[in-house]
Amino acid sequence: MSRMSRAVIDVDGTKRPVPIHGPEAFEGMRAAGRLAALTLDHVTPLVRAGVSTGEIDQAIERFMREHGGIPATIGYPHREQPNNPFPAASCISVNHVVNHGIPSFEKKLKEGDTLNIDVTVILDGWYGDTSRMFIVGRPEKVPVKARRLIKTTYEAMWAGIRAVRPGATLGDVGHAIQKVAEAQGFSVVRDFVGHGIGRVFHDAPEVRHFGKPGEGLRLEPGMFFTIEPMINAGRAGVKILPDGWTTVTRDREPSAQFEHTVGVTEDGVEVFTRSPAGFEQPPYAS
């Protein structure tokens, strides 16, 4: 996800044109999106107590490269700190970490943890960006609120995706997401947004996960972007840790996120990053 417009703007639909892509771009995105989704499928059995997030990241990088992909996040520049590029092939964000968690061999998963794994792969120049939530161990060991948060975040993402069609606006998309989250008493993170994507990682437009119907950019066939709501169980406020990347909830309540990369078609939406294994939301196996 991209940081929302503050002092420095890296994704801003009002300042950059929104690319319109043709059929060969859809082909490229199908392949890149599929590899990103397969990468998450591949590491799903590794998500268990005692495994470190560093080990999962290592498996992610190996799988991408074995399939002709390049991990897009390794060396990704920090927007304010020139000497602090992102160091890993994935972001792994556990419990109250909202996003951009840095994988580490010191960070071992334990039963009852919830986590987001976010991968972006470059395949033949096209970017596929997707994330899912995972739970560690037996579902009954995960606090009920966290389980409800994950389910709600999944449903919110899909409500946003279902709102995508030519003639709809990004306000319609954001509103659909916000409505699902807030109906459960949860809050939408404002500080990060989805983004245009294609032959670049973060492009216009900026895709807010909240909004008003009828407002914002009007969607046209050939637009590509991510929908990646971050929903907090408590308040929406976040802060960034001293490592410059890891974002956590201010109130230390859990956070959840799912992400798909989509394209606007003539009659609706195509999701490029669906799981070939059918891993939609946790638990993924018994």
Residue 118 touching ligand MF3 (CB under 6 A): yes
Out of 259, 260, 275, 281, which residue is the one contacting ligand MF3 (CB under 6 A)? 259
- Cβ proximity to ligand MF3: between 100 and 209 the closer is 100
Residue 229 makes CB contacts below 8 A (sequence gap 6+) with 153, 156, 157, 160, 177, 181, 188, 189, 194, 209, 257, 258
Shorter beta-carbon distance to ligand MF3: residue 55 or 206: 206
Let me know the angle formed at the C-alpha of 38 by 196 and 181, rounded to the nearest 5 degrees. Answer: 55
Contact call for residue 175 and ligand MF3 (CB under 6 A) = no
Which CB atom, from 3 or from 147, has the smaller least distance to ligand MF3?
Answer: 3
Cβ-count burial of 54 within 10 angstroms (0-12 exposed, 13-18 middle, 19+ buried)? Answer: middle
Whole-number Å distance between alpha carbons of 74 and 91:
10
| Closer residue to Co ion in complex, CB, 92/168 | 92
Under the criterion CB under 6 A, does residue 73 sit at the interface with ligand MF3? yes
Q: How far is CA 81 from the centre of its chain?
A: 22
Strands 2-3 and 192-196 turn out to be antiparallel
Q: Check binding of 129 to ligand MF3 (CB under 6 A).
A: yes
Which tokens go with 186?
């949860």
Residues 88-127 that bind Co ion (CB under 5 A): 118
Angle between helices 23-43 and 53-66 (to 10 degrees): 140
Determine if 1 is a binding residue for ligand MF3 (CB under 6 A): yes
Per the CB < 8 A criterion, the answer to whether 58 and 66 are in contact is no
Q: 11: which 2 tokens?
A: 């994704």
Nearer to ligand MF3, 62 or 110 (CB): 62
Q: Figure out which of the listed residues 86, 158, 224, 272 binds ligand MF3, where binding follows CB under 6 A.
A: 86
Cβ neighbours, 10 Å, residue 264:
22
Q: With binding defined as CB under 6 A, does residue 91 bind ligand MF3?
A: yes
Decide if residue 120 touches ligand MF3 (CB under 6 A). Answer: yes
Size of the site for ligand MF3 (CB under 6 A): 13
x/- string (CB under 6 A) for ligand MF3, residues 220-239?
A: ------x-x-----------
Smallest distance from ligand MF3 to CB 228, Å: 5
Helices (H), the chain: 23-43, 53-66, 144-162, 170-183
Residue 129 vs 203, nearer CB to Co ion: 129
* Least distance between ligand MF3 and beta carbon 286 (Å): 29
For residue 277, give the nearest of 84, 42, 103, 58 by alpha carbon: 42
Residues lying near Co ion in the complex (CB under 5 A) are found at 118, 129, 226, 228, 259
Residues lying near ligand MF3 in the complex (CB under 6 A) are found at 1, 73, 76, 86, 91, 100, 118, 120, 129, 226, 228, 245, 259
